[in-house]
Structure 1
Amino acid sequence: MGGPGGRGQRPRGGGLTARGGQLSTARLRVDTPERAGLDREETRRLAREVRALTAGDRPWAAGAVVVAGRGPVIAVREAAGWAVRYTAYDPEADAGVEAPPAARAPMSIDTPFDLASLTKLFTSVAAVQQIERGTLGIDARVGAYLPDFHAAAAHGLTVRQLLTHTSGLRPELPLYDCADDAERLERLRSEAPATEPGRHVYSDVNLLLLQQLLERLTGRSLDVLVRDGITRPLGMTSTRFGPCPGAAATEDQRRPWAKADRGMLRGEVHDENAWALGGVAGHAGLFSTADDLAVFCRTLLSGGSYGPARILGPDFVDLLLAPPGLGFAVDQPWFMGELAGRGAAGHTGFTGTSLVLDRATDTFLILLANTVHPRRRPPDSAPRARAGTRLRRAVR
């Protein structure tokens, strides 16, 4: 069954338009598709298709929020389904245990989500900020900043390799099985590449090493770097590392399908390694809303500025988003659909989150869903790709 949804009217923050080569930092506003230069019927289809993703007994997601627009105009702003629908997962029935009506929570535009790997984008921006300031070299060796991380130092891993997932490090480490923080840190220090550096192998470990590097370099923790360098200047007041009461529920996390026994999660980070690290990690841990992420997208589309705030210069936004992307994935049809092809950049998150920004059409698409509620399933990004295609076809 589908839950109640809401179409909000409260604009958040600011944005840009990039018409005729001119970048504008005009603040975001909710307006008509026509004002955004988008086809009304295509945007209606986009909203309708997202609502359908939450319908039925076994929906793609219990709930979802979509925010999309062009230039400074938010033309689609829709919530559907449930932030909390289930109390547990029943493995014998292979289905969620429905919560009683009083215990359910409808999805709203303002519902925060566990961003999962969208956190990597913020860690990447924090790194490029240091590159812009001249305190970090894009092709510098990690060992120059972290000499005690002897495996990375011995293999000559570079900052660029961490940001482009070409370090050769394996996808993840079981830090959640370590006895304490000292053991977790030693695992990171001793982790050597599993394959020859240079080939793309997507790895959470890259961003964990980058977190260690940034914290050593600046003397500040990652949550402070993200807050002071990105979210506070941009007015992204709903974006922070957890815990985050009121967030959309994620998984009834239990072995054998998960890597820890934690029960139904809401407001606590889903990723087991981020949880083991106290909730602040370079690869996962942030919570945010679709409105806040729209501000983040508009900032990058405007060359790093948003209203009076500037978090990066245009040249460094280019460095961040140019193929193959630093932290960002570029031109990936499997989740961008027809938005891919001319430099669209974005990312997905394991919990069901995604964002895409397309400089060629000056558009952005944020689709947040709790697809792992009540438990994780094999990933299915076809709905994300369809949403990207729908937005691309709406561009006049």
Structure 2
Amino acid sequence: MPSPEGPGDRGGGRELSAPRLRHDTPERAGLDPGELRRLVVEFHALTTGERPWAPGAVLVAGRGPVIAVEEAAGWAVRYASYDPDADAGVELPPDARVPVTVDTPFDLASLTKLFTAVAAVQQIERGTLGMDARVGAFLPEFRAVVEHGVTVRELLTHTSGLRPELPLYDCVDAEERLAMLRAEAPVGAPGTYTYSDLNPLLLQHVLERVTGRTLDDLVHHGITRPLGMTATRFGPCPDAAATEDQRRPWAKVDRGMVRGVVHDENAWALGGVAGHAGLFSTGGDLAVFCRALLAGGSYGPARILGPDFVELLLTPPGLGFALDQPWFMGELAGRGAAGHTGFTGTSLVLDRATDTFLVLLANTVHPRRRGVDSGPRAGAGTRVARAVRGVRGA
């Protein structure tokens, strides 16, 4: 029987080597320096003013093996709490605030889904999981999805018909949460796209059943350890940027100011390790993740996927990855760009057509969640696209 371990765990065999990332000039990266200067100016403006887009943020952008931009701005921790009467954050004294650095970890939120998707495709590569296998073949006790014939492909493409989420955070214990998941039936027609946190949650159960290992173990041994992503892990992560003063009615649970523990209420209720949320990481680590996928699954001597399986992962409609979405990719979209966003203010884009990548991490939910504004994400993507083309001007 094939080992459940990911490609990064293998010893011997064919060794592939892809260039590691290095810091260098925009010109060496084949990027227009003027556009990148504008990108940096616009990035720093995101964390200024009384109501900034985010208190703190990190930006990493590059092309090929070159990081041409790596910037940090603002505060990892700026507020002690949120005052609902004033509709404003309660500022910490300046000497109590924590500045963002390029090494600050952020709560990735839904970027975690990308790692779950890669872990699943690793098992498909190894032959322990089939794309069109029925979930019920691995999880017969999940009776509702068994009756509807939900497949692994449908989980990866958000076409299972499952609703966006369940109130697992309201359950009294783990047994009740598991019972709720097992009883949840699709509400939409199979094949219809509905973005749902339940898809990667069920996929997590499939992976853990198939391999006999927990999701955090699979991600560590199959992805982050072989790639040298030492700052990427499931929480707790005490030095991470703060997120929300989490209280009802604007939040779903009452937890106070959250820092170093996953922001997502369901992931928190599940112990911090979930298929849809829970990972923390830095801009530099995510640049490595992007670079490995752009290089066909390899980074240095490590290989996490073969090129054909990276192609499978990123072929429309994308397995876990969103493809060509202008609302957060800007002008990088439209040529096969792939990526995702996270509720806490995170995003990444990798553009195979131009061999470029863009990581934007922020704590936009600090001190409390508000309506999503992806204009800055799209604007950054547009600047990078124009830097590739050498187009000047706004």
> For this structure pair, what is the TM-score category when the shorter chain's length is used for normalisation?
over 0.9
In 2, Cα distance between equivalents of 1:256 and 1:379: 18
Q: State the one-letter code of the partner of 2:347.
A: S
Asked if the contact 2:32–2:387 (Cα under 8 Å) also holds between the matched residues in 1, the reply is yes
Task: Say whether the 8 Å CA contact 1:24–1:302 is kept in structure 2.
Answer: no
Check if 1:239 corresponds to 2:232: yes
Q: Deviations over 1:157-187 (max 9, x none)?
A: 0000000000000000000000100010011
Shift of 1:48: 1.0
Of 208, 228, 235 in structure 1, the residue corresponding to residue 221 of structure 2 is 228
Q: Unaligned stretches of 5+ in structure 2? A: 1-15, 390-394
Question: Aligned partner of 1:258: which letter?
Answer: A
* From 84, 91, 116, the counterpart of 2:84: 91
In structure 2, the partner of 1:174 is 167
Match of 1:306 among 299, 305, 309: 299
Whether contact under 8 Å (1:303, 1:317) holds in the other structure is yes
Match of 1:344 among 337, 341, 349: 337
* Amino acid in structure 2 at the alignment position of 1:302: A
Find 1:34's aligned residue among 27, 30, 39. Answer: 27
Equivalent pair of 1:67/1:290 in contact (CA under 8 Å) = yes
C-alpha offsets along residues 314-369 of structure 1, whole Å, 9 cap, x if unaligned? 00000001111000000000000000001100000000000000000000000000
Query: Quick check: 2:81–2:367 contact (8 Å CA) kept in 1?
Result: yes
Q: Which letter maps to 1:63?
A: G
2:377 is equivalent to residue 378 of structure 1: no
Question: 1:268 pairs with 241, 261, 265, which one?
Answer: 261
Q: How many residues align?
A: 374
Cα contact 2:17–2:301 (8 A) shared by 1: no
Residue 151 of structure 1 pairs with residue 148 of structure 2: no
CA distance in 1, matches of 2:34, 2:104: 26
Which residue of 1 is the match for residue 117 of structure 2? 124
Aligned to 1:252: 245
Map of 2:3 onto structure 1: none
**Separation in structure 2 between the aligned mates of residue 225 and residue 253 of structure 1, nearest angstrom:** 30
Whole-angstrom CA distance in 2 between matches of 1:223 and 1:27: 25
> Is the 2:17–2:302 contact (alpha carbons within 8 Å) kept by the matching residues of 1?
no
Q: Which residue of 1 aligns with 2:207?
A: 214
Secondary structure at 1:54's aligned position in 2? coil
User: Of 88, 97, 108, which aligns to 1:104?
Assistant: 97
CA–CA distance in structure 1, aligned partners of residues 323 and 154 of structure 2: 16
Asked if the contact 2:18–2:300 (Cα under 8 Å) also holds between the matched residues in 1, the reply is yes
Segments of structure 1 that go 5 or more residues without pairing to the other structure are 1-22
Structure 1 residues 206, 377: CA separation in 2 closer, same or farther (over 3 Å shift)? same
Among 285, 288, 291, the alignment partner of 2:281 is 288
CA shift, 1:152, in A, is 0.6
Aligned equivalents of 1:265, 1:175: Cα separation in 2: 19
Deviations along 1:351-388, whole A, 9 cap, x unmatched?
00000000000000000000000000001101100000
Equivalent residue for 2:188? 195
Give me the TM-score of the superposition, normalised by structure 1. 0.94
- Aligned match of 1:362: 355
Identical columns (%): 80
Post-superposition offset of 1:24: 7.2
Q: Is the 8 A contact 2:328 2:375 kept in 1?
A: yes
